[in-house]
A = this chain, B = another copy of it.
């Protein structure tokens, strides 16, 4: 029986903290490459682009791994964060949908470098099946379930068109997958216990456009008028005038 370690790391690291740990890890790896042995919270915070108090609080959730008056041991902290994130084991990832994006992902070096191994590429298009990409042969999506089970795939990346995404999602969940990274522009419906993270290029651009418009004009185009000239009535019944107002 493995006893629990009664520590600060008493289960339950805030989501916001988890989302920043990979950032710290990357900054630490940069420092390690330059031969830095120890680093203060202040310096690491600058490298990661966050507030130093936040950094310290984040790290305190993992345990007390710093030395007061000195800072953090770079190598040791890399190991602890990697372990917390589960990067000391390697994860088999399958990519479903080998279009432009799927190819880019398959070739992306960042995956392999950190405990992630692309264990399968799938597509429904017979013209693509059999093609060799990044050292793997694209398989037909029919074999999805069996390959997931056979190769122990635990994370699936969905890079299919929007119309196919939910179906692929359902199938991989049925095959036992509980972690999905979705690039298709749809809201996936999943049962409890399944984690979905979404990356949506179009949404990111729209958010930028919002801020860009703010900066340029101080707000959206004036007037609540319809493009075809219908004047509408705002709340409180106050009728608005021409668009040029």
Contacts from A to B (Cβ < 8 Å): 2-3, 5, 7-9, 11, 18-19, 21-23, 25-27, 47-49, 63-65, 76, 79-80, 83-89, 91, 93, 99-101, 103-105, 107-108, 110-111, 113-116, 154-155, 178-181, 185, 187, 189, 193, 195, 197, 199-213, 215, 218-224, 226-227, 232, 234-236, 240, 244-245
Residue numbers in B under 8 Å from A26 (CB-CB):
185
**8 Å CB contact of A91 from B193, B212, B227:** B212
- In the bound complex, residues from chain B placing their C-beta under 8 Å from that of A199 are 199, 201, 204
Query: Taking the nearest CB of chain B, how far is it from the CB of A160, in angstroms?
Result: 13
B155 touches A205 (CB 8 A): yes
Query: Chain B residues near A87 (CB, 8 Å)?
Result: 206, 209
Q: How far is the CB of A239 from chain B (nearest CB, A)?
A: 12
Residues A234 and B11 in contact, CB atoms below 8 Å apart: no
- A116 to B115 alpha-carbon distance, docked (Å): 36
**Contact (Cβ within 8 A) A221 B88:** yes
Shortest 7 CB-CB distances between A and B: which pairs? Answer: A64-B235, A86-B213, A100-B104, A110-B202, A49-B187, A22-B206, A22-B203
Given A100-B104, A107-B100, A201-B105, do A11 and B212 touch, yes or no (CB 8 Å)? no
Q: A203 contacts which chain B residues (CB < 8 A)? A: 19, 22-23
B116 with A108: CB separation less than 8 A: no
With A22-B206, A193-B215 as contacts: A227 and B79 at CB distance below 8 Å: yes
Q: Is the CB of A116 within 8 A of B179?
A: no
Known: A18-B211, A19-B203, A83-B221. 4 other contacts (CB 8 A): A47-B187, A79-B227, A88-B227, A100-B107
- Closest Cβ of chain B to A136, distance in Å, is 15
With a CB–CB cut-off of 8 A, which chain B residues contact A185?
Answer: 26, 110
- Could you tell me if A86 and B210 are in contact, using CB atoms closer than 8 angstroms? yes
- A sample of 27 inter-chain contacts (CB < 8 A) reads A3-B245, A9-B219, A11-B218, A18-B207, A19-B207, A21-B210, A22-B206, A23-B203, A48-B187, A49-B189, A63-B224, A79-B226, A85-B206, A85-B209, A86-B212, A87-B209, A89-B213, A91-B205, A91-B212, A104-B104, A108-B202, A111-B201, A114-B202, A116-B205, A155-B205, A155-B208, A178-B215
